[in-house]
Amino acid sequence: MNDTLLVIVLADAVLYGTPLLFASLGELLAERSGVLNLGVEGMMLFGAVVGFWVTQRVEGASASVLVLAILASGLSGAAMAAIHAFLTITLRANQIVSGLALTIFAGGLGLSAYVGTELGFSPDIPAKQHFGSVDVLGLADLPVLGPIVFDQSALVYASWIAALLVGLYLGRTRFGLNVRAVGEAPASADAMGINVTLYRYVHVLIGGGFAGVAGACYSLSISPGWIAGDTLIGGAGWIAIALVIFAFWRAELCLVGAYLFGALSALPFALQARNVDVAPEFLYALPYVMTIVVLVIVSTGLSKRHLGAPAALGIPYVREER
Amino acid sequence: MKLERRLTQPWWLSVAVPLGSLVLAFGLMALILVATGHDPIETYREILDAAFTGNGALSATLISATPILFTGLAAAAAFRMQLFNIGAEGQLYLGAVGASWIALQLGDRDATSTPLYVVAMCVAAGVAGALWGLIPGVLKAFARTNEIITSLMLNYVAGLLLTYLIFDSASYWRDTSTLQARAFPQGKPMPEASYWPTFGSDVVVPLGFVIGLGAAVVLWVLYTRMRFGFEVGVIADSPRAARYAGMRTRRKILSVMAVSGAIAGIGGASQIGDFTYTLDGSTTGLQAAAFGYTGIVVAALARYNPLAVCLVAVLIGGLQNAGYTLQGPDFPSGLVGVMQGIILFCALGGELLLRYRLRIRRRSSAHGGSGAAVEPAR
């Protein structure tokens, strides 16, 4: 029963959805504070290569090496985000162009490829460590739910905790309220004594950290190893940005969207394994086409305000010019 | 230290700031090179040699500059209206598909019909690119869908379409005439008369580059000397004012996306006619160079000025070309992207100095013109 197409696709949907979830939660935090960061793809790739590097170089118990790798990926994602934060918050640069610049800088033809080549990584080098599935409570063989829920890697369970924490943080804490104020009305937040600059910096950096971890999901879990260029994550960073829009800037809906797109990413491989007679390009195009379709559905007839976009998203805050 | 918004911009500043950013960028890049154990001066000397001063270097640079001249213009045309068309990549692929289609349709003709091929290929590519660009355009105009994401997603779709046409279908573009071509999929070769001519002998200038320069001039006239460009400027600066003035924003979105897509598409025609002479569907061909994304770097560095795009395209083209030529242990792949990113970061940071005046206050009473102290007490 657990090898039916549906169960396989759903189990893989969780696998492929996890990096999307991490990345979109990070982007959500940055955007809720009013900063659009289009550099997700670049931050993810850099996180991926750094995470892979740690697992190749550090000897030790598997669990501790992997934890270290995830921490390093997060930090490297945050370091990339710091460039964007400095340019857009302190130097008031255009957030869209700066984000694109970050993707070019850190992305598949930039720093991540550079670092990978300098360290001598190539696709033939097997990963020494990777996240295996954890059989939770011995329930992995449970029909249907077993492979989908109880036989996933630790990253998946971590992402659930992250989604819960981000949701609670934004909705139920004072800091979360302040973040939302900074994103909606920075001038009022400033008048209330909230440090707009500090809040934006912190959340852009945390967002970058999430993106770095999302990248590590690829190099340490989905396809352990390192391939320079566009093939490793293939636009997942951009899908994560789209996810934030059709999650209406809510953490719980990011979870739904991530698995929807995880399923779309997993479907081609599952169908190909069963020799379905469709040109693979049509299947591979599915997530991209569906991103467009869902975005259109979400944006039709809804104004920016109804969508739930932070009102000050993309606008630099300058105290003297409010 | 304090930032004050500039009311006027001294003319020299718009030259000095980009140059200063460039110098800063190469300084930062040197730090990265040193940190990773390379000699920056030697690397820069090699780049300069491979890009401009070496034997035949300039000709090779122009080959790299041609596609990014088109994609740079495409990005500049759209970004001017705050319309972030990231889809030049895909629009270029579609242009290549359109251009190769018409060239194959025209069949083998004698050498005198080359101009016919050139015109037909440009038109077909322009139409194909414009139509592909109009997809995000229509979605933006009528459904207010974020054009950044839709145009970007379409890049992936266009890339898959290219692969499909050559590798996974018996399409019109695929060469199935010989046994070998059937085993190793490849595009049909173009008729020889459709090869675009080149100019010059010492420095070989591809026709595509000349067409790109022409497009830059047309775009410059359109954006600075005509009503079209004025309206684009107003919509960019203040959409609300534009609406009150009765400008048709929707129509403008569509036409700007079409113009942008068409220019990128002609870039695809130039790839076919100038260089590859066949539709290359592999991921190491047309899809490997990321022309579209580099075009954004070019446009942003040129501050969206079409004439400046020509100059910047040659500069960045030189860097790209040096990247291909020097690739190896001393010049790892990815270095070019890192450099482009840093240059763009510095240019973006430099924008601050164009818009704001940096004022360093020594004593609080030194600039008594403003501030509460001199306000008349009532």
Domain match, B100 and B66 both = yes
Q: pLDDT-derived band of residue A48, with 50, 70 and 90 as boundaries? A: very high
DSSP state of A137: G
The mean pLDDT value for B355-368 works out to 66
Burial grade of B316 (CB within 10 A; 0-12, 13-18, 19 or more) = buried
Q: Which residue of A has its CA nearest to B292?
A: A104
Range with lowest mean pLDDT among A28-37, B153-162, B366-375:
B366-375
Q: Which amino acid is at A229?
A: G
Interface touch B143/A299, C-beta < 8 Å: yes
**A110 → closest Cβ in B3, B146, B334:** B334
Nearest of A19, A117, A120 to residue A77 by alpha carbon: A19
Give the residues across from B206 on adjacent strands. Answer: B198
Could you tell me the pLDDT band of residue A301, with boundaries at 50, 70 and 90?
low
- Note the pLDDT of residue B18: 83
List, for residues A70-126, the tens digit of each pLDDT value. 999 999 999 999 999 999 999 999 999 999 999 999 988 899 999 998 888 888 888
Closest chain A residue by Cα to residue B4 = A320
Q: What is the DSSP letter of B203?
A: S
Domain holding A277, by residue range, is: 5-321
Q: How confident is the model at residue B372 (pLDDT cuts 50, 70, 90)?
A: very low
Residue A269's SS3 state is: helix
In a domain, B48, yes or no: no
* CATH number (domain holding residue A98): 1.10.3470
Q: What stretch of H or E contains B3?
A: strand B2-5
Global ipTM = 0.90
Mean of pLDDT values over B9-24: 86
Contacts of B241 (CB under 8 A, 6+ apart): B234
Residues of A in contact with B344 (CB under 8 A): 97, 101, 104-105
What DSSP character marks residue B111?
G
Residues B127, B178, single domain; the answer is yes
Residue A180, pLDDT above cutoff 90: yes
Is B43 inside a domain boundary? no
User: Residue B49: inside a domain, yes or no?
Assistant: no
Please count the structural domains in chain A: 1
Question: pLDDT grade, residue A304 (50/70/90)?
Answer: low
Are A147 and A7 a contacting pair, CB within 8 Å?
yes
pLDDT (0 to 100) of residue A302: 63
The residue of chain B nearest to residue A94, with distances taken between CA atoms, is B348
Q: Give the pLDDT band of residue B376 (cuts 50, 70, 90).
A: very low
- CATH classification of the domain holding B163: 1.10.3470
Nearest to B253 by CA among B355, B163, B135: B135
Tell me how far apart the alpha carbons of residues A109 and A112 are, in angstroms, rounded to a whole number.
7
Supply the pLDDT for residue B364.
53
Query: Do B168 and A299 lie within an 8 Å CB cutoff?
Result: no
B146 neighbourhood in chain A, CB within 8 Å: 242, 245, 295, 299
CB atoms B149 and A115 under 8 Å: no
Which are the contacts of B268, defined by CB distance < 8 A and separation ≥ 6? B91, B92, B93, B94, B95, B96, B97, B98, B99, B125, B128, B129, B286
Provide the 8-state DSSP code for B190: P
Residues B207 and B307 in one domain: yes
Contacts of B334 in chain A (CB under 8 A): 109-117, 228
Contact criterion met (CB < 8 Å) for A113 and B344: no
Is the domain of B206 the same as that of B351? no
Question: Which of A297-311, B31-45, B130-144 has the highest average model confidence (pLDDT)?
Answer: B130-144
Mean pLDDT highest for which of A67-76, A133-142, A231-240, B103-112?
Answer: A67-76
Strand blocks (E) in B289-332: none
pLDDT tens digits, B308-335 = 999 999 999 999 999 888 887 778 888 8
| The residue count for chain A | 322
Cβ of A72: how many Cβ atoms within 10 Å? 21
Q: Which residues of A touch B294 (CB under 8 A)?
A: 104
Number of domain units in chain B? 2
**B301 & B171 share domain:** yes
Find the mean pLDDT for residues A312-322: 82
> For residue range B22-61, what is the model confidence (pLDDT) as tens digits?
899 999 999 998 988 888 999 899 999 999 998 889 999 9
On whether residue B378 sits in a domain, the answer given is: no
Of B36, B156, B300, Cβ closest to residue A118: B36
Radius of gyration in angstroms for the set of CA atoms belonging to chain B, rounded to a whole number: 23
Residue A11 to residue A2: CA distance in whole angstroms? 10
Of B204 and A269, more confident: B204
Radius of gyration (Cα) for chain A, nearest Å? 20
Do B188 and B75 sit in the same domain of this protein? yes
Q: Which of B296, B375, B74, B307 is nearest to A38 (CA)?
A: B296
Tens digit of each residue's pLDDT (9 = 90 or more) over B138-156: 999 998 898 999 999 999 9
The distance from CA A160 to its chain's CA centroid, rounded to whole angstroms, is 13
Check whether B72 has a pLDDT greater than 60: yes
Residue in A87, A118, A235 nearest the CB of B348:
A87
User: Could A296 and B157 be called an inter-chain contact, meaning their C-beta atoms sit closer than 8 Å?
Assistant: no
Average pLDDT, rounded, for chain B: 89
pLDDT at A118: 85
Are the Cβ atoms of A285 and B157 closer than 8 angstroms? Answer: yes
Residues B176 and B316 both lie in one domain? yes
Using CB atoms within 10 A of its CB, is residue A97 exposed (0-12), middle (13-18) or buried (19+)? Answer: buried
Q: What is the DSSP string of B247-281?
A: --HHHHHHHHHHHHHHHHHHHHHHIIIIIISB---
Instruction: Check: CB of residue A104 under 8 Å from CB of residue B343.
Output: no
CA-based max dimension of chain B = 96
**How many whole angstroms separate alpha carbon A270 and alpha carbon B250?**
42
Highest mean pLDDT: which range of A55-69, A76-90, A98-112, B274-288:
A76-90
**In the predicted model, what is the mean pLDDT of residues B130-136?**
97
Q: Is residue B371 part of a domain?
A: no
Q: Enumerate residues 6+ apart whose C-beta is below 8 A from A34.
A: A182, A183, A186, A200, A310, A312, A313, A314, A315, A317
- B159 and B198, same structural domain? yes
Higher pLDDT, B130 or B173: B130
Average pLDDT over residues A171-198: 94
B344 and B269: one domain? Answer: no
Tokens representing B245 are: 């003035």
pLDDT at A1: 62
B180 and B219 in a common domain? yes
**Range of weakest confidence among A2-11, A175-184, B71-80, B264-273:** A2-11
Check whether residue B74 and residue B124 sit in a common domain: yes
Tokens standing for residue A317: 């805050």
Distance CA B341, CA A46 (A): 14
Nearest-Cα residue of chain B relative to residue A41: B152
Contact A292 B86 (CB under 8 A): no
| B80 is a domain residue | yes
pLDDT in tens, A217-262: 999 988 888 887 777 888 899 999 999 988 889 999 999 999 999 9
- Of B296, B294, B342, the closest CA to residue B321 belongs to B294
pLDDT at B365 over 60: no
Shortest alpha-carbon distance between residue A136 and chain B (Å): 37
Segment B227-233 mean pLDDT: 93
CB contact under 8 A, B168 and A281: yes
Question: Which residue of chain A comes nearest to B294, CA vs CA?
Answer: A104
Query: B275 with B258, same domain?
Result: yes
Count of A–B CB contacts within 8 Å? 158
| Nearest CB to A93 within list B160, B283, B349 | B349
**Which of B161, B297, B351 lies closest to A93 in CB terms?**
B351
- Domain of residue B232 covers 54-326
Q: Quick one: angle between helices B57-79 and B88-106, nearest 10?
A: 110
